[in-house]
Structure 1
Amino acid sequence: MSTAHAATHDVHNQPPPPGPFDLWADDAGLREAVAREGAGDFTADLASYGALAGDRLLRLADEAHRDRPRLRTHDTYGHRIDRVAFNAAWHEVMGTAIAHGVAGLSWARPQPGAHVARAALSYLHYQAEPGSSCPLTMTHAAVPVLRQAPALREWADKACAFVYDGRDVPMADKRGVTLGMGMTEKQGGSDVRANTTRALPLGADGDYALVGHKWFFSAPMSDAFLVLAQAPGGLSCFLLPRWRPDGSRNGLRLMRLKDKLGDWSNASSEVEFDDAWAFRIGDEGRGVATILEMVMLTRLDCMLGSAGLMRMALRQALHHARHRHAFGKRLLDQPLMRNVLADLALESEAATTLALRVAGAVDRAPCDAREAALARIATAIGKYWICKRAPVVANEAQECLGGLGYIEETLLPRLVRQAPLNSIWEGCGNIQCLDVLRALAREPETGAALRAEWQAAAGRDAQFDAALQAGMAMLAAGSDEAGARAFVERLALLLQGATLLRANHPLATAWCASRLGAPHAATFGTLGDTAHIDAALARCDAWAR
């Protein structure tokens, strides 16, 4: 080979492979929020998981996404098994997450700050392997629903256990279980009261046979599922396990796995119930009310996951910009690229701060009525806004890498595919906006809590104060359904601004100037103050070395 030909194989001006990352140590915003929201006792747990998630789990995630789950309806000899087969990397990820409390910490160590610490674990985990966050969050969120039925105490206890067992065997043979969910049907979508699956009472109290289908059946490999079905008394909530109490397989028929845009490591399915045994939780006709606490917790995790995804997308963009040169300078030193990265950093910091604030409200809700009211309204507001912002952040971060960001060997295509999911799962944007309007109309304490949260930040920033005055008038006037999105967006921006200011966040002024002051352009990279750009990037200085 000639010397000239060999020279074409020299590689220069390309960044080194990113990582490993310490997702806890390099995230000042997360560390500050955890301390502020009362979870300082869990710092060692979070530090351990942050290092693990940014290294080993991130590498396992690549394998789990490339080798997607497969449906096995029958075994070699023709027996119906309705099993989902996963790559070994998936099982290691699940085992590691559950052993570190991503699913059970809130319930296994019930002390002040536990919900905040588990929220931080969820945020860290989503950055590494978001697909597995689906069964992890549903297992976590199912526990308070299961605890409503004394007969299901063993299920609740095993859902809290720091033990993962991926075998398809009866619950009695396991020390730990995972939970899925089935609410959506073909004809109803978000209108779950239009569900047609029937629940027929059996002889024993609480025992039913379910006949029907679910159009989206989340995490079908789980040990049991919380589902909604029409009992004689109306729409009701049930626990439907894969195995009947007598040890036989339940009448649960997986029809196919969904061929999804993203979230490839995780399985979602369609299912039919053929006289499937289920146990009722709560009263007949109270299914939505019974399952509501689970839905609130899973919506919080949608918010946390989107914030975590933004963080990882920004981390990848910063790494590339530090090591790539163009026009004689590093990308990180180019004024326009600095503007883009700083703008993304502001969005990420605000999302993380608000998500952990809501987790703190959830943590304090049992003993603080105002925090409970804030958790109620802020979950819907934050779920709407943060989940809406994740796709545009991921796409902008992808663009920072240029063509390389479009290549599957980088992480960005996976993040771009994953980013829209949380705005769809657990109620699309319209559903969240309608929920905000409903809460404000029917639960006046939620509006009072929101106003108190805003007012507590008054007097700290002129841009915020001007927006606050307009926001108070807007909240008093309310909104009709057609204007709900613009209404909720403004509520979200004021809530983020108040949260940042009350936290004395070093980027609060820059954020308020860009989001609440002079109108921020529709794209990132449109910050108007060089000092704000420098401050945001200085905050990121420890990242992605």
Structure 2
Amino acid sequence: MTVTDHGTHRVENQPPPLSGHDPLACDPALTDAVGREGAQEALPDLGRLGALITSPEAQEHARLANVHEPVLRTHDRYGHRIDEVEFHPSWHWLVGTAVEWGLHAAPWVDEPGTGAHVRRAAGFYLMSQLEAGHGCPISMTYAAVPALRHDPVLAAAYEPGLVSTSYEFGLAEPATKAGLLAGMSMTEKQGGSDVRAGTTVATQAADGTYQLVGHKWFTSAPMNDLFLTLAQAPGGLTCFVLPRVLPDGSRNAIQLQRLKDKLGNRSNASAEIEYIGATGWRLGDEGRGVATIIEMVSMTRLDCVLGSAALVRAALSEAAHHVAHRSAFGSRLADTPLMQAVVADLALESEAATALALRLAGAVDRGERSLLRLALPASKYLVCKRAPAVVAEALECLGGNGYVEESALPRLYREAPLNSIWEGSGNVTALDVLRAVSRNPDSVDAVLAEVDAAGGVDSRFDRAIRALRAELHGREARRARRLAELLALCLQGSLLVRHAPEEVSSAFLGARFDADGPWRTAGTLPEGTPAAALLERVTPG
């Protein structure tokens, strides 16, 4: 039988694969912020990392790690309890690459003020655009070091392995491994964000260690080497360090009950775990568990902002690339005014989120604790809240092509809500903003100084500053979300007014602070916005 080519499968009017481009060349918000925040010398290395993450090989690893999800192995073939999670090799490639590039705890060994945290933040932002799930163990390891430093003995035991740029998967006694990863295990069934409601009990043994009994509802990356956890000791809620393998080489009494079937973050394992007399070492004083672990929470919140900014940027890249190569009704989509307005609006969101995220990383480098105490939860609230809406708009730019799994958008869309939940969902984070305003007046002063640095340039922004000052005096719990949103928007506006091109800052102020009220959906930009120029600025080459 002869098969005739009727031409029904000629591929026309489809964009080429988005790979092999330079992600720094179309992201001036990132490169400008890296230089501004003190890590200019890192740009060549970041360029090499950028070339790696856009390679077809890296993109295939990202796909495979999510298609082949982690598998829990509670027992071996002989019936011995092993409590291990099996990952696809592409997961190990992703985590190993992040560790090799020092995107975990490596910055903590550098001198303060050297740009190490900005360099690491930019790298984390790039790797998170490739694949978000592997960032969980990387982020928790980064956050563990400042918490561990509450106890010099424990820090000395674990910090060398945590800052190592060697990745060694598998359960073994930590002192024998070339590199370590850390996690956190706080959430319980009855408590959620209210960690003080935890019922896990810690009883001190004769040798000074504690035996923990309890159930933890959500523990991500359970194959990490050690975990910071909370339990009720005689003196109250206390922080403990629990290794998966004890110094004598035996497995700690930690059982993995099941893996969570999550909306997104599919490459990363999240487990319910049971402590059945697990051995832990106290970190900090009894009754001071929250105060001890708060350093870890703060650093993971920073990575929530970075991770959501990365998701926004990844979605923007997909949308801008698509409209640059797709035509409809006789015109290239990127040349049509309404599509220009939509993608330009997404570009403004990305530029503002990226500038703010890198500003926070710079504050870590410079030890600006007062600024971080208020700016960090507010930024986490807004940037993480905006990510799902931005990804949804980007997906719509691709139409049906964006709704199928072969595109990158469904994975981004499933991932987008996570950072707004992790480390305190919207209400918890907004109330933390209110708490900082009430208890840390120096934080209010630091944020207002940052915002006021752009005052007097644009009447729209000056009006927003006045509204922020009025909101800061209100301090009503029911308005906590409004305060967090306005505070983060003002921080973004200040950064763009001072550092972005006028066309970017003016468009942002017009869209976010217009006198007619807040912006609504993407593409509703004010009259006169240079949408075509904004789109060209962020389109991958």
Scaled by the length of structure 1, what TM-score is found?
Answer: 0.96
Which residue does the alignment assign to 2:47? 47
Which residue does the alignment assign to 1:363? 365
Contact 2:62/2:130, CA 8 A, preserved across alignment: yes
Q: Which moved more, 1:489-498 or 1:504-513?
A: 504-513
Which aligned pairs between 1:350-389 and structure 2 lie closer than 5 A?
350-365=352-367, 371-389=368-386
Shift of residue 407, structure 1, vs aligned partner: 0.1
Aligned match for 1:166, one of 164, 169, 174: 169
Which residue does the alignment assign to 1:522? 520
Which residue does the alignment assign to 1:103? 104
Which residue does the alignment assign to 2:22? 22
For the residues of structure 1 that align with 2:344 and 2:2, how far apart are their CA atoms? Answer: 46
Which residue does the alignment assign to 1:219? 221
Instruction: Give the partner amino acid of 1:454.
Output: V
SS at match of 1:393: helix
Q: Provide, for residues 128-166 of structure 1, a one-character-per-residue CA deviation record: whole Å limited to 9, x for no partner.
A: 110000000000110111122222212111101001001
Q: Which moved more, 1:268-277 or 1:14-23?
A: 14-23
Contact 1:57/1:129, CA 8 A, preserved across alignment: no
Q: Provide, for residues 211-243 of structure 1, a one-character-per-residue CA deviation record: whole Å limited to 9, x for no partner.
A: 001000111111111100011100011111111
Contact 2:73/2:82, CA 8 A, preserved across alignment: yes
Which aligned pairs between 1:82-481 and structure 2 lie closer than 5 A?
82-111=83-112, 112-152=114-154, 153-205=156-208, 207-365=209-367, 371-475=368-472, 477-481=473-477
Q: Provide, for residues 478-521 of structure 1, a one-character-per-residue CA deviation record: whole Å limited to 9, x for no partner.
A: 23111211221111211111121122444111101110124344
For the residues of structure 2 that align with 1:96 and 1:198, how far apart are their CA atoms? Answer: 38
For the residues of structure 1 that align with 2:519 and 2:490, how far apart are their CA atoms? Answer: 18
For the residues of structure 2 that align with 1:420 and 1:24, how far apart are their CA atoms? Answer: 25
For the residues of structure 2 that align with 1:22 and 1:415, how far apart are their CA atoms? Answer: 20
For the residues of structure 2 that align with 1:468 and 1:521, how far apart are their CA atoms? Answer: 17
Contact 2:22/2:540, CA 8 A, preserved across alignment: no
SS at match of 1:130: coil
Shift of residue 25, structure 1, vs aligned partner: 3.3
For the residues of structure 2 that align with 1:68 and 1:200, how far apart are their CA atoms? Answer: 36
Task: Flag the 1:338–1:4 CA change in 2: closer, same or farther, 3 A.
Answer: farther
For the residues of structure 2 that align with 1:377 and 1:536, how far apart are their CA atoms? Answer: 31
Instruction: Give the partner amino acid of 1:409.
Output: E
Instruction: Give the partner amino acid of 1:433.
Output: A
For the residues of structure 2 that align with 1:180 and 1:334, how far apart are their CA atoms? Answer: 48
For the residues of structure 2 that align with 1:5 and 1:25, how far apart are their CA atoms? Answer: 42
Shift of residue 4, structure 1, vs aligned partner: 7.1
Instruction: Give the partner amino acid of 1:58.
Output: Q
Q: Which moved more, 1:447-456 or 1:247-256?
A: 447-456
For the residues of structure 1 that align with 2:393 and 2:408, how far apart are their CA atoms? Answer: 14
SS at match of 1:7: coil
For the residues of structure 1 that align with 2:59 and 2:370, how far apart are their CA atoms? Answer: 37
Contact 2:230/2:237, CA 8 A, preserved across alignment: yes
Q: Provide, for residues 275-330 of structure 1, a one-character-per-residue CA deviation record: whole Å limited to 9, x for no partner.
A: 00111100000000001111000000000000000000010011111111100011
Shift of residue 58, structure 1, vs aligned partner: 2.5
Shift of residue 41, structure 1, vs aligned partner: 2.7
Shift of residue 204, structure 1, vs aligned partner: 2.0
Shift of residue 172, structure 1, vs aligned partner: 2.0
Shift of residue 403, structure 1, vs aligned partner: 0.6
Instruction: Give the partner amino acid of 1:29.
Output: A
Shift of residue 385, structure 1, vs aligned partner: 0.2
Shift of residue 262, structure 1, vs aligned partner: 0.5
For the residues of structure 1 that align with 2:138 and 2:467, how far apart are their CA atoms? Answer: 40
Shift of residue 121, structure 1, vs aligned partner: 1.1
Q: Which moved more, 1:4-13 or 1:302-311?
A: 4-13
Q: Which moved more, 1:145-154 or 1:409-418?
A: 145-154
For the aligned residue pairs, the C-alpha RMSD in angstroms reads 1.4
Shift of residue 110, structure 1, vs aligned partner: 3.0
Contact 1:45/1:100, CA 8 A, preserved across alignment: no
1:67 aligns to 2:65 (yes or no): no
SS at match of 1:12: coil
Which residue does the alignment assign to 1:80? 81
For the residues of structure 2 that align with 1:410 and 1:478, how far apart are their CA atoms? Answer: 46
Structure 1, unpaired ranges of 5+: 366-370
For the residues of structure 1 that align with 2:536 and 2:171, how far apart are their CA atoms? Answer: 50
Contact 1:233/1:284, CA 8 A, preserved across alignment: yes
Contact 2:324/2:333, CA 8 A, preserved across alignment: yes
Shift of residue 453, structure 1, vs aligned partner: 1.1
Shift of residue 396, structure 1, vs aligned partner: 0.3
Structure 2, unpaired ranges of 5+: none
Contact 1:24/1:124, CA 8 A, preserved across alignment: no
For the residues of structure 2 that align with 1:492 and 1:180, how far apart are their CA atoms? Answer: 28
For the residues of structure 2 that align with 1:20 and 1:164, how far apart are their CA atoms? Answer: 26
Contact 2:200/2:213, CA 8 A, preserved across alignment: yes
Shift of residue 21, structure 1, vs aligned partner: 3.2
For the residues of structure 2 that align with 1:296 and 1:113, how far apart are their CA atoms? Answer: 19
For the residues of structure 2 that align with 1:146 and 1:401, how far apart are their CA atoms? Answer: 46
For the residues of structure 2 that align with 1:530 and 1:513, how far apart are their CA atoms? Answer: 10
Aligned match for 2:491, one of 495, 513, 519: 495
Q: Which moved more, 1:402-411 or 1:503-512?
A: 503-512
Which residue does the alignment assign to 1:368? none
For the residues of structure 1 that align with 2:362 and 2:452, how far apart are their CA atoms? Answer: 18
Shift of residue 2, structure 1, vs aligned partner: 7.5
Shift of residue 332, structure 1, vs aligned partner: 0.6
